[in-house]
Amino acid sequence: MLVPVVLAGGVGARLWPSSRALLPKQFIQFPQQQDSLFQSTISRLAGLKEIGDVLVVCNEDHRFLAAEQLRQLGKDRSTILLEPVGRNTAPAVALAALFAQQDSVDPILLVLPSDHIILNKPAFHRAITEGVELARQEMLVAFGIVPDSPETSFGYIKKGARLNLADRSEKSNVFAVNRFVEKPNKATAESYIASGKYFWNSGMFMFTASSYLQELKLYGNDIFESCRATYANFEKGDEFQSIPEADFSDCRSDSIDYAVMEKTKRAAVIGLEAGWSDLGAWDAIWDLQEKDRHRNVVSGDVLTTETKGSYIQSEYRLVAAVGIEDTVIIETADAILVAHKRHVQSVKQIVEQLESQNREERISHQVVKKPWGSYESVKSGQGWQVKHIIVNPGVALSLHMHKQCSKHWIVIKGEGVITYGDKELKLQASESTFIPLGSKHRLSNSSKQPVEIIEVQIGDCLGEGDLMKFEDKYCRVAIV
C-alpha cells in the first residue's frame, strides 16, 4: 500500500503578511487558486493505484484548519498526527512510519511537503510509479526537480550512475545519488546548471516504512529511539493522534536530508519535470500566476499606472501603485508589505523582528478562524478591547472564565443562547447582557443561521493568559 505522508508543519515566514503562525501558507487559498496548497497536495494524488488514507503531520495549533480542509475534500478518514513542538522532518516521518506500520505490514510512504505547486499531474504520477518500483527494492528515493535557473534558495542533488528500471526499454530519469549539496551561491549554482549533473532538492521522498526506520536507526539512532519511546505513549483518538510533548520535546531536531538521505548508501533520485514550485516567497507567487500586458499580477482593489513586473495584492483597502517596477505590495487589515522582488527572501527577517518584539502581527490575522467560527479584533486600548464574534450554526464556544476582565455581549445578528453562572439567556439582535469577571460562561448557537455579537472586554488582562477553559467539545487542553 502507498501511504501519503503530508508534512504540514511549516509557518511560511517569507509569505508574511498573508502567512501567519496561526494561518500558515499551506492552509491559505492564494489568488487564482481554487484550493489551499494543503488541499492541492492531497487532491493531485487522485488516480494513483493502491493508495491509502492520507496521514497528516501538523502542529497542534493547526489541527482544526487541517481537519476542516480534509473534510471539504471528503477525506474524513485521514489521520492527523499533532506535533506539540516542531522537530523538523526526520522525527515527523519516523512517527508517521511507526504509525503506518500498525495498519499495514510494510507500507510505502510518499512524503510530501504541503506547500508545493505541481502543474503537470501525469508527469508527477509517472515519477511516483517509478518511485514505487525503487522503494520495493528497499531504495530510499528523493524526487529531484530538473532545474531551469541557477536558484540559490534550494539545495541540490548531484546525479550518480543511471539506474534502468525493470521492463523499460527507454532510458529512465532515475539515478543513484552522488551527493546532496547545500544551498549554493550564485556562481556555484550557475556551474551546477551548466554541468547538467544536478537536480533541485524538492523535499519529496519515497521509501518503505521499514527501510526508513532501519536507516534512521543506523545513522540517527538517538532520533530513532526518541521517536520509538514517543510513539509508545501516543494519545490515540478517532481523528487526532496527539504526540506527547514530554517525550517528543527531548528528540533532536533534524531533517530527513541530514539525518538519513545524505548518509545512506541506498539513495536514488528521480528527475521530475512537472511544473513544480515550492512557493517559497512572493516572487514565486508572481512567477506562477497570469500576468497583464505590463507583467503585473494584481488581486483585490488595485489601481496601477506606469507600473511593471509587480505583484500587488489587496484584501481590505484600495491600493494605488504609480511608477514602480518589480515590486511586491501585500495589503492586509493590520499590515502592509512593500518589497523589491529581488529581496523577498529577506521578508523572513521582518518576521524575526516581529517575534523579537512579541508583536501579534506575526501570530494571527485581524480575523482569527476558530473551529466554532471566527473573531475579529475591531479596536483596543489600555484596559479595553472590542471584538466581532461569529458563531456558526449548531456549535458553541467552550465554557470558560476570566479572572481579570468582564464582558458585554451585544447580539447584532441571529439568535444566541448565553450561559453564565446559573443563568441561561436567549438573546436576539439588539439585545445584550453583562458577564462579570469570575463568571463561567459560553455562547451557543442552536439555530440554522450564524449568530454575530459585539464583545466589549474591560479589565487588566485581555489576552489568552486570562482564559480558563472548563468544558471544550474541541478537545483543546483546559487550563484549570
| Those residues with Cβ within 8 angstroms of residue 426's Cβ, 6 or more apart along the chain or in another chain | 415, 416, 417, 418
| Those residues with Cβ within 8 angstroms of residue 202's Cβ, 6 or more apart along the chain or in another chain | 116, 142, 143, 144, 145, 272, 276, 278
Q: List beta partners, residue 305.
A: 322
For the chain, report the end-to-end CA distance as a whole number of angstroms.
Answer: 44
Per-residue confidence at 473, pLDDT binned at 50, 70, 90? low
Residue 472 pLDDT: 56
Helices (H), 136-270: 186-195, 209-219, 221-232, 245-248, 256
What does the pLDDT average to over 402-416?
91
The Cα–Cα gap between 461 and 177 comes to 56
The helix (H) or strand (E) run that includes residue 122 is: helix 121-135
Q: For residue 101, which phi and psi values (nearest 5 degrees)?
A: -70, -15
The Cα–Cα gap between 232 and 246 comes to 12
What does the pLDDT average to over 74-100?
95
What does the pLDDT average to over 430-451?
91
Per-residue confidence at 476, pLDDT binned at 50, 70, 90? very low
C-alpha cell at 42: 492531497
Using CB atoms within 10 Å of the CB of residue 14, give its burial: 0 to 12 exposed, 13 to 18 middle, 19+ buried.
Answer: buried
Using CB atoms within 10 Å of the CB of residue 186, give its burial: 0 to 12 exposed, 13 to 18 middle, 19+ buried.
Answer: exposed
What does the pLDDT average to over 405-425?
91
What does the pLDDT average to over 21-35?
90
Per-residue confidence at 401, pLDDT binned at 50, 70, 90? confident
**Nearest to residue 199, comparing CAs of 189, 212, 209?**
189
Residue 211 pLDDT: 98
Answer whether residue 32 shows pLDDT above 60. yes
Pairing of strands 240-242, 79-83: parallel
Residues of the chain with CATH 3.90.550.10: 2-277
Report pLDDT digits (tens) over 270-302.
999 999 999 999 999 999 999 999 999 999 999
Give the CATH fold of the 2-277 domain: Spore Coat Polysaccharide Biosynthesis Protein SpsA; Chain A (3.90.550)
Answer whether residue 455 shows pLDDT above 60. yes
Residue 60 in 3-state DSSP?
A: helix
What does the pLDDT average to over 27-40?
90
Report pLDDT digits (tens) over 216-265.
999 999 999 999 999 999 987 767 899 999 999 999 999 999 999 999 99
Residues 366 and 334 sit within 8 Å (Cβ to Cβ): yes
Residues of the chain with CATH 2.60.120.10: 367-471
The Cα–Cα gap between 32 and 301 comes to 15
Report pLDDT digits (tens) over 327-385.
999 999 999 999 999 999 999 999 999 999 999 999 999 888 888 899 998 888 888 99
Question: What Cα–Cα distance (Å) separates residue 24 from each residue in 8, 16, 153, 183?
Answer: 9, 9, 20, 24
C-alpha cell at 269: 533520485
Determine the residue type at 252.
R
- 367-471 maps to CATH 2.60.120.10: yes
Give residue for cell 519511546.
229
| Those residues with Cβ within 8 angstroms of residue 99's Cβ, 6 or more apart along the chain or in another chain | 55, 79, 81, 231, 234, 241
DSSP secondary structure letters along 282-308: HHHHHHHS---TTS-EEESSEEEES-B
Residues 364 and 374 sit within 8 Å (Cβ to Cβ): no
Residue 33 pLDDT: 81
CA 103 to chain centre: 26
Report pLDDT digits (tens) over 115-156.
999 999 999 999 999 999 999 999 999 999 999 999 998 999
C-alpha cell at 363: 501570530
Q: For residue 229, which phi and psi values (nearest 5 degrees)?
A: -65, -40
Residue 170 pLDDT: 62
Question: What Cα–Cα distance (Å) separates residue 139 from each residue in 216, 261, 273?
Answer: 14, 11, 21
Answer whether residue 469 shows pLDDT above 80. no
Residue 466 pLDDT: 63
What does the pLDDT average to over 463-467?
63
Number of Cβ atoms within 10 Å of the Cβ of 413 = 14
C-alpha cell at 126: 509517472
| Those residues with Cβ within 8 angstroms of residue 270's Cβ, 6 or more apart along the chain or in another chain | 127, 130, 131, 134, 141, 142, 143, 144, 173, 174
Residue 85 pLDDT: 93
Residue 237 pLDDT: 72
Give residue for cell 439567556.
425
Residues 223 and 216 sit within 8 Å (Cβ to Cβ): yes
Average of per-residue pLDDT values in the chain: 92
Going by the DSSP 8-state scheme, the letter that residue 51 receives in this structure is: B
User: Does the model's pTM come out above 0.85?
Assistant: yes
